[in-house]
Structure 1
Amino acid sequence: MTDPARDHDIVVYGASGFVGVVTARYLAEHAPAGTRLALGGRSEQRLAAVRDKLGVDWPIVVADADETEALAELAASTRVVVTTVGPYLKYGKALAAACAEAGTDYVDLTGEVLFARHSIDANHETAVRTGARIVHSCGFDSIPSDLGVHVLAQQAAADGAGELADTTMVVTSMRGGISGGTIDSMRHQLDVVKEDRGLRRVAASPYSLSPDRTAEPELGRQGDTATVRGAEVHPSLRGTLAPFFMASYNTRVVRRSNALTDFRYGRSFRYRELMSVGSSPLSPVVANGVKLGFGALMAGLMLPPTRFVLDKLLPKPGTGPSERSQRDGYFTMDFFTTTTTGARYKARFRAQGDPGYGATSVMLAESALALVHDRDALPPSGGGVLTPATALGDVLVERLRVAGVEITAQRL
């Protein structure tokens, strides 16, 4: 379905960046015939090079991230904007606002609490008025987490087994590297919170993305930074589990989904994310080493002397793995819950492809295609600053299954 009043169905903004190219390639290979695609960014020359590389004849839309008028024209020209340009707190505010005002659907890859909070405050009411679905975090941050809990709650409800209570996501296997863009976003957010105590409190709150903090139950921090014996989560899990490095963002997205659906998961829904580090007798040492190492990385990025060294060692923005590494990567996330009736359930989200690149490009592109081609079947949430589960729901689950992603839920 196309809108003749708009020139394009999807504009990939930041298409000359590493993830932008991968996403554009996926769309070139998998978008249904007739989908009107375009490449967007600040450099016509670089975008033309990408177009030539992909062997497509898509239009080019030039707009810099701080050119308000150009971004407004871009948003008005298309039904959906896909943006890979981060850090979003630095480069993404104007584009999200332009899409909300133009009634244009929008998807991105942010894992930045402060950007998402800003967008909620700045754009939600506008997007409700215009009908735009502003959907943040449509990649490894945070589609697996959000849809994993979505199908878990859905299966429990279908069985009449009650609402979700204690729920834990465990990364049981993963192969792939952290992207330079993720590191750059992390770096920028640390710079911001270092100067503003109020923003530090926002970033630290487990309900920092919730629509109404006063409506949330008081369930504490919910174990976001703890190490946990695997058997405490489920008897099948061995060894000690470490904190998952993306938990501080993903958990807040999932809690926002719960709140936006009038607490469909439950008011006693407690959610945390952990990762397996193996089942050897040394797993407690390794898990605590992961916890301490991530804390040391954060501290190192905040201190000028160590940051200088880390900047030399960590991946750079716009860089990424080889095509072979993207193909050979994978991840499996298992979700365990006990419902309010005492029933136990497990969901699984497993995908092939490097989590931050290959798999992310599939999730991002399929999110955009769902907004273009399946709009009538989407959840009846209307417009607003939404989450993948509340904006795309079962439509995206089915699209990802067709694309080869395993998404299941079952009673144990």
Structure 2
Amino acid sequence: MNKAFDITVFGATGLTGKNIVKHIYELSLNKPEFYKAANAPDNSGASFRWAIAGRNKHGLEQVIEEMEQLFPNASVSRPSILIVNVTQREQLNDMTRQTKVLINAVGPFRFMGEYVVRACVENGCHYVDVTGEPEFVERMQRTYQDKAKANKVTIVHSCGFDSNAKLIQTSIWLFSCTQVPTDIGVLYTKSLYTKHGWKPNQIEMFLKIHTGPAGLRGGFATFESAVHGFGSAKLLKEIRKASVMKPLPHPDGQKLVFHKGVHYDKEFGYHVPFFFADPSIVRLSQQIFYNNLAFTDSHKSQNAVPPPVQFAAYLLLPSLWAVILFTVFGYIFSFLASRPWGRNLLLKNPEFFSYGIFSRNHPTKNQLEQTSFEIILRSKGYDHSLTPKYNVPPNRSFKVVVRGPELGYVATPRIVLQCALTILYNQKSENTIPNGVLTPATAFWQTDLIDRLRQVGITYDISI
């Protein structure tokens, strides 16, 4: 079916969506070759056809005018405008019938995301989003996996950073998740072992946020997703109980100790558990691989399926004072977010309950420029076969460090756009991306996504 648009950005007037549109323009100046179609005669990007979508025509027109003023020499063409309300099924159907790959930035996803996923599955439109809501991701995987595969549609959740975790850094709150850097980082770490013929056993993730004098600020939609995400933990457990996928096998070798509270690591310092999306996404990726759902019908992998490992995720805190703040504010947030009246109170007073970091005001340019992230993946494994259930200490190790700019509004547009472009051009050539409802690792494990991310400032390095 011939479709009008290569990519459509849905929710283009929101903070995240607008930054995705901005990055599309910006990338066309810095790296126009990313928009080269398979049959294009040059790298101009002129053959790249795209659209932006949302409820408000005037707001969409303002976004385009602002971007054309910021990037007058952009090589991409002016995007078309699609008027789409997420609650109007026919409008969603019309958008997805015209689009090859949809970038969905309309949240909270647990309330509005399924409408969009269903329209994409039914109308043959590939899909990526920036959700960090595990309950939504796993519910979509259970509900639409078979139909998406039958309709040859690829749905990839969590292609960026989003909210659902509670962090404190330099005595302030930051809600963030790191799904693509972590999920792809775990995949990359496993590949280092398999290249040597070794077996990975465990991976610990440590997230570090670097901030500047301007501090941090997050959008209200992020705070809202975090509040509702905490309240849906019980539902996630019920979804997993109903899963028909085979559970992961019990790992051989040494058991990874998970530190449930505040802990001091000799190498990295104070850390606390990182409970939300990253561990859930990594777990789901391993389960999808284990159930052989990460293959295409026409392409047989030349690579071994990544083996399952034990995984734990932590947030690094810079000082004992940050640990105290985390404990106090974490208890207050947890108590309120688990009760309907408490969630209402949190949503009415985001600045007060987030130590001033979340409000309806957008982050400033200085705040975005001064913030960056670092993810350390510390792994252990074996260079020999193991006797099942024998608790022998690992004798091999790797450390992978993932680095990038500000998480939510700088890194996310770069990551989600590269995921969308990878799907777009892979379908025309290699066809190594499977159909179904997938995670980043299971969708992109046989692609050049890591190389693409490195070119836009998201680096993966081996640390000794």
TM-score, with structure 1 as normaliser: 0.85
Counterpart position of 2:265 = 230
Map 1:310-349; keep pairs closer than 5 Å: 311-312=348-349, 313=351, 314=354, 319-341=361-383, 342-349=395-402
SS of 2:315's equivalent? strand
SS of 1:30's equivalent? helix
Does structure 1 residue 241 correspond to structure 2 residue 271? yes
Map 1:4-403; keep pairs closer than 5 Å: 5-31=2-28, 32=35, 33=45, 34-55=47-68, 57-140=78-161, 141-162=178-199, 164-175=200-211, 176-190=216-230, 199=235, 201-202=237-238, 212=245, 214-217=247-250, 223=258, 225-231=260-266, 237-244=267-274, 247-262=275-290, 264-267=305-308, 269-278=309-318, 283=320, 286-287=322-323, 289-291=325-327, 293-303=329-339, 304=341, 307-308=344-345, 311-312=348-349, 313=351, 314=354, 319-341=361-383, 342-352=395-405, 354-375=406-427, 380-393=432-445, 394-403=447-456
Provide Cα deviations, 1:155-194, integer angstroms capped at 9, x if missing partner. 11112222x212101113433444422211122344556x
Looking at structure 2, the residues matched to 310 and 401 of structure 1 have their Cα atoms a distance apart, in angstroms, of: 37
Looking at structure 2, the residues matched to 349 and 380 of structure 1 have their Cα atoms a distance apart, in angstroms, of: 24
User: What stretches of structure 1 of length at least 5 have no aligned partner?
Assistant: 232-236
Greater Cα shift, 169-178 or 79-88: 169-178
SS of 1:357's equivalent? helix
Looking at structure 2, the residues matched to 99 and 52 of structure 1 have their Cα atoms a distance apart, in angstroms, of: 29
Looking at structure 2, the residues matched to 318 and 218 of structure 1 have their Cα atoms a distance apart, in angstroms, of: 45
Say whether the 8 Å CA contact 1:225–1:291 is kept in structure 2. no
Provide Cα deviations, 1:192-232, integer angstroms capped at 9, x if missing partner. 56xxx5x16348xxx6898725345389997374333313x
Say whether the 8 Å CA contact 2:218–2:358 is kept in structure 1. no
Compared with structure 1, are the counterparts of its residues 307 and 225 closer, same or farther at alpha carbon in structure 2 (3 Å cutoff)?
Answer: farther
SS of 2:276's equivalent? helix
Shift of 1:122: 2.0
Greater Cα shift, 304-313 or 47-56: 304-313
Looking at structure 2, the residues matched to 277 and 316 of structure 1 have their Cα atoms a distance apart, in angstroms, of: 19
Looking at structure 2, the residues matched to 131 and 222 of structure 1 have their Cα atoms a distance apart, in angstroms, of: 41
Looking at structure 2, the residues matched to 68 and 326 of structure 1 have their Cα atoms a distance apart, in angstroms, of: 36
SS of 1:149's equivalent? helix
Say whether the 8 Å CA contact 1:379–1:392 is kept in structure 2. no
Say whether the 8 Å CA contact 1:211–1:256 is kept in structure 2. no
Shift of 1:323: 2.6
SS of 2:118's equivalent? helix
Say whether the 8 Å CA contact 1:243–1:291 is kept in structure 2. no
SS of 1:241's equivalent? strand
Say whether the 8 Å CA contact 1:19–1:318 is kept in structure 2. no
The residue type equivalent to 1:145 in the other structure is: T
Shift of 1:37: 1.2
Looking at structure 2, the residues matched to 183 and 338 of structure 1 have their Cα atoms a distance apart, in angstroms, of: 35
RMSD of aligned Cα (Å): 2.8
Compared with structure 1, are the counterparts of its residues 107 and 224 closer, same or farther at alpha carbon in structure 2 (3 Å cutoff)?
Answer: farther
Say whether the 8 Å CA contact 2:201–2:251 is kept in structure 1. no
Greater Cα shift, 133-142 or 310-319: 310-319
Say whether the 8 Å CA contact 2:380–2:396 is kept in structure 1. yes
Compared with structure 1, are the counterparts of its residues 382 and 238 closer, same or farther at alpha carbon in structure 2 (3 Å cutoff)?
Answer: closer
Greater Cα shift, 314-323 or 180-189: 314-323
Say whether the 8 Å CA contact 1:17–1:318 is kept in structure 2. no
Looking at structure 1, the residues matched to 241 and 224 of structure 2 have their Cα atoms a distance apart, in angstroms, of: 21
Compared with structure 1, are the counterparts of its residues 379 and 323 closer, same or farther at alpha carbon in structure 2 (3 Å cutoff)?
Answer: farther
Looking at structure 2, the residues matched to 344 and 309 of structure 1 have their Cα atoms a distance apart, in angstroms, of: 43
User: What stretches of structure 2 of length at least 5 have no aligned partner?
Assistant: 29-34, 36-44, 69-76, 162-177, 292-304, 384-394
Looking at structure 2, the residues matched to 125 and 317 of structure 1 have their Cα atoms a distance apart, in angstroms, of: 40
The residue type equivalent to 2:372 in the other structure is: Y
Higher helix share: 1
The residue type equivalent to 1:134 in the other structure is: I
Counterpart position of 1:404 = 457
